Amino acid sequence: MDEINQFEIDEMGAIKISDEVVAIVAGIAATEVPGVEYGCRIPDVSWEIQEKVKKSVETMTGLNVVEVNIHVQGVNFDHKKENNEDASRVK
């Protein structure tokens, strides 16, 4: 079962936001950062993702974001470029 984030809104009751909603907002924000697929320095892209996700989640949900953890799951290399550079070194 998803954990529910909750905060009070005056006398009108409480607003509940599921972790799934927060994850969707964070995922969309992360994919909007240039360089998430290829061609940029990982530390620079990670910093931009952290800032974008924090701002988006706080703006859309009203929650206070304490931290945004980044887990790099894969790195793509331009094999054509590497092969061309290797071939030029051999000549």
Residue 75 CA to residue 52 CA, distance in Å, equals: 21
pLDDT tens for 73-86 read: 888 887 776 555 55
Q: What type of residue sits at position 65?
A: V
| Residue ranges per structural domain of the chain | 4-90
| Tokens found for residue 85 | 């550079």
State pTM to two decimals. 0.71
Q: What is the pLDDT of residue 1?
A: 43
pLDDT tens for 25-84 read: 999 999 999 988 888 899 999 999 999 999 999 999 988 999 999 998 888 887 776 555
Residue 43 CA to residue 57 CA, distance in Å, equals: 21
